Structure 1
């Protein structure tokens, strides 16, 4: 980034997935001084952080090229709540939606196609730079053009990006949003992307590759019959919704995601905030005020008080209705993640996690 390029403070919200960060992003979007970028890095995955330098044309290609998995899901009728592009009224059909148009642009504007065109017109003329510099340049231009002075990015299940983000953005602040493991796992079990994620793991074990990253029309034929309805070429939305996946698979998924927590070690308090979803739900105003101060929102108390009533309290305790046996098995699956989380948080945990 050139010295004369303006820089807007960047905060990245990270979590395991199904930890309340989508709600938080929507609340941040209601602050007039914040540019809330929902799922920005997720929508550019894979390939969000290429090596070397990119000129403006190459950077736009990274931002605009449709990614395979979300477009396959949309073509096959899989309903993903985070896919907010207006299919039917927007310019692009299902299967052709540009990366940043899928999830990031629609919450920001009623005209995602128009914003898409403005970003393209701006960035294609930029000189070569490493991708992290291009991102910071984009965030600063974008915030300035919208009259915002703070940028908050958050992506679902984004802890997987943490080592890369720490390398590329050495001055960024990070918010670690966390939730009770079994509650997160139950929520994952109801979400199509996490259900597909479990099944992609099974397909990878059979094929040696992720079929959504290394597509091959022969994959459906090579898979056992039980997995064929989940391959890109033969995806069946009803089967994805209806197939039985043991809850412990999602507990394992949640625990594996917490493995990235070790990368927070050494970050100073001014760059890292731990935010409990359960604590936000229980008492929104003080927790959201703390978050607002941390990321640099103007008048965080006023913002928190204004939007606190939008915090959905019905989602807390998602695992409470499990049988004793189900809860015991799920707790065992989540135990490694619980230990990692307790070690990281120490005495800073904001709320006790519910017991089954």
Structure 2
């Protein structure tokens, strides 16, 4: 297999987070010919893009080992909508959920534990290869074993992985899904993962490390009192929900996420599609059809017409309902990212979205 060859067509959906990509993943999952891998790389963070080669058991460890942050959130009762593993009905308790089982497997099957075991039994026998090749092998096996012809991966806030994704998958297509920055930032402010993300930034400033990536029981004692309820060994769900975090912090978070867009500048049009969430919501069928054609769905027009009614058309414009002062502060914080986004998609955003 040459470097740019793919054993199965692969499209990777990119975004800042809270840009509508979860909705897109769920819509793609309605196409019987497409394997929709929701949050695949997000499940494996940290450690999703290792150097060197991995044999089968090492690759399975990468896929299956529980990650600290989501399991802390689960065990402390923080409700994260994307965490879809059936706690109480599945094999694993909160705090010990394997990486892939957390978000990727549940939308695909009513029995994520059985699918977890099938993947484990398959990959543990594989010969050593670079992680990029093991991923492609997994996608190919997974698609062929379920009768799928196309793979679409989508992880929340995946722009943070963009350099690695481009290096690992030089033959993949990329869909950049974007949304009005102020609306995205406002949505972040209401989501526990993004709220914790802001507070982790504050903890990193105090400790010099991210306590969820470099856990140490001494960290909690070293933090100022206001941050202790957010450390891994003392996370308090109520404190996380009630923390007073200025909206501008989320505008800055969204804006900084757009810094990765510079890596898209050199991708040719046949490998990059810009897809506006606001345009999808306003007129779902043509935008979804364009996405389906780009990703290689077998019948993109029929799929788009069938799933369009699932698009929630009530969400755009949320930031416009804030007070004038809040709106101004939020848009000022988003301004650098808004300029980056405009420079990339420009005035051609709508035509790119509808191009076939």
TM-score normalized by the length of structure 2: 0.97
Q: Which residue of 1 aligns with 2:225?
A: 225
- Retained in 2: the 8 A contact 1:185–1:251? yes
Q: Which residue of 2 aligns with 1:256?
A: 256
Shift of residue 123 of structure 1?
0.4
- Retained in 1: the 8 A contact 2:6–2:172? no
| Superimposed CA distance per residue, residues 67-104 of structure 1 (whole angstroms, 9 cap, x where no aligned partner) | 00000000100000000000000000000000000000
**Where in structure 2 are the equivalents of 1:171-250 lying within 5 Å?**
171-250=171-250
| Superimposed CA distance per residue, residues 126-168 of structure 1 (whole angstroms, 9 cap, x where no aligned partner) | 0000000000000000000110000000000000100111011
2:351 is equivalent to residue 348 of structure 1: no
- Retained in 2: the 8 A contact 1:6–1:137? no
Query: Matches of 2:215 and 2:6 in 1, distance apart?
Result: 40
Shift of residue 346 of structure 1?
1.9
Query: Matches of 1:99 and 1:33 in 2, distance apart?
Result: 25
- Retained in 2: the 8 A contact 1:196–1:230? yes
Query: Matches of 1:317 and 1:80 in 2, distance apart?
Result: 23
Query: Matches of 2:53 and 2:158 in 1, distance apart?
Result: 24
| Superimposed CA distance per residue, residues 39-60 of structure 1 (whole angstroms, 9 cap, x where no aligned partner) | 0000000000111000111000
RMSD: 1.3
2:141 is equivalent to residue 141 of structure 1: yes
SS at match of 1:92: coil
2:153 is equivalent to residue 158 of structure 1: no
| Superimposed CA distance per residue, residues 207-244 of structure 1 (whole angstroms, 9 cap, x where no aligned partner) | 00000000000111100000000000100000000111
Q: Which residue of 2 aligns with 1:45?
A: 45
SS at match of 1:30: coil
Alpha carbons of structure 1 residues 188 and 168: separation in structure 2 relative to 1, 3 Å = same
SS at match of 2:88: coil
2:106 is equivalent to residue 103 of structure 1: no
Query: Matches of 2:115 and 2:210 in 1, distance apart?
Result: 32
- Retained in 1: the 8 A contact 2:6–2:136? no
- Retained in 1: the 8 A contact 2:174–2:272? yes
SS at match of 1:167: helix
Q: Which residue of 1 aligns with 2:75?
A: 75
Give the number of equivalent residue pairs.
350
Q: Which residue of 2 aligns with 1:354?
A: none
Q: Which residue of 1 aligns with 2:329?
A: 329
Shift of residue 249 of structure 1?
0.2
SS at match of 2:350: coil
SS at match of 1:66: coil
Structure 1 portions without partners, runs of 5+: 352-356
- Retained in 1: the 8 A contact 2:6–2:171? no
Shift of residue 299 of structure 1?
1.0
Alpha carbons of structure 1 residues 123 and 322: separation in structure 2 relative to 1, 3 Å = same
Query: Matches of 2:194 and 2:318 in 1, distance apart?
Result: 16
Query: Matches of 1:6 and 1:312 in 2, distance apart?
Result: 34
Alpha carbons of structure 1 residues 282 and 35: separation in structure 2 relative to 1, 3 Å = same
Query: Matches of 1:177 and 1:25 in 2, distance apart?
Result: 11
Query: Matches of 1:84 and 1:48 in 2, distance apart?
Result: 20
Structure 2 portions without partners, runs of 5+: 352-356
Query: Matches of 1:295 and 1:80 in 2, distance apart?
Result: 28
Query: Matches of 1:2 and 1:154 in 2, distance apart?
Result: 25
| Superimposed CA distance per residue, residues 21-65 of structure 1 (whole angstroms, 9 cap, x where no aligned partner) | 000000000001100000000000000011100011100000000
**After TM superposition, which residue ranges in structure 1, 4 or more long, deviate above 6 angstroms?**
none
- Retained in 2: the 8 A contact 1:189–1:250? yes
